[in-house]
Structures are given as C-alpha cells and as structure tokens.
Structure 1
C-alpha cells in the first residue's frame, strides 16, 4: 500500500505542477477527485490481494479477479455518476480517467508481480 500512496503522491505533484505553472487543455479540473478514487481502488485491491496471499493460496486468483472486476464496475459507476451530474469538459474527464486507469492498472500489476516473486 505504501507504493500506491507514494505513486499517487508523485502523480499528484506532477498534476499540481502542470496545473499551476503550465495550464493545459488535457488536464481536467477534477483531477484531485480522480486521484482520490484511484487511491481508494488501490487500497481495495491491496487488501484483497493480501487476503488472498494469507492462509489458503488457492484463494488468491479468485480474489485478484474479483478486485479486477470491482475496479471495472466501480470505475464505470464513477464515470457514469459524473457524466450524469453534467460535468463540464466530458471528453477531457473521460480521457483523464482512462489514462489514469491504464497507468494505475499497470502499476498495480507491477507491484503484485513483485510481491508474488517474493512469496514464491
């Protein structure tokens, strides 16, 4: 979980610097909400993977797949909620969400793979 928090802090610093010193059209104003959402999802994934690695190792795969499905469903609900609320710059918001989704998924795959190597 420490790596997810540090990664989120790094992304937040980069986004803050870009937002303050070089405002760009590709960064949506709701980027802090997106980062909090992804930090929460990362925490959920981390807890499920830790639960899967403790005790019965055969539970790891179903719990990992459940966390992946939960990430997808919660992400769709999150985007749907903001689109239903009539957020401005919808395309930018969705693109920021998708880019962060890919980045966080890749980061968590790297972190889980690293953790699995230690336990094998």
Structure 2
C-alpha cells in the first residue's frame, strides 16, 4: 500500500484517480489543484508517490516536479497527461518522473502504473 498525493486542477480527475487507487489498496493522503500547493503538501505529508497533472494553472506539473525533486531527489512521481502532450512527457521523464498515465485510462492502467513506479 502506498500513500499517494493527487495533483490535478480538475476535481473530478482527482476523485476518479483517488477512487481507483483506494480500490487498489492505496491511501490518498492529500490533494492539490495547483503545482504550488502540491509542492507545499509534499513537504508536509511526504507521500510514497505523487500523481501529478502536467497542465495546471499557477505552476505546471513540470515546474512542480522540479521543485519536489529538489526537496526529495528520491521522490516517486507519475505524470498524468493527455495524449497530445508527448513532448512534455519526455521532459518529465528526463526530470526524474517514474512514468506517466495517459488520459483517458482504466483502473488496471492506474494500478499497474502505480506498482511500476513504486518498484522502479
């Protein structure tokens, strides 16, 4: 079981991923709708995994990923993206993301991607 921080500016996406992760035995320990809030929450809750949307207001997911990895170089982060954002995915992977989830997704994809990130 992993303690997960969910970051997406769309509340329904946080709820959807949270429900899927919880059904897979994981615990959602925080939610954020901006990158800045994600960085602040990461420092407070130190989750096992962050699922981080790329496109958000305030601070995008790539900037948040950089700041989280500055706080904790071993942070496990999965990026969540729409399929047309493939160049952002490559940049995220080069910045240390452990993988990515492409919207739309299934519960099986979410859970297998979480497991891969935790075991990488």
TM-score, length basis structure 1: 0.32
Structure number having the greater helix percentage: 1
Structure number having the greater strand percentage: 2
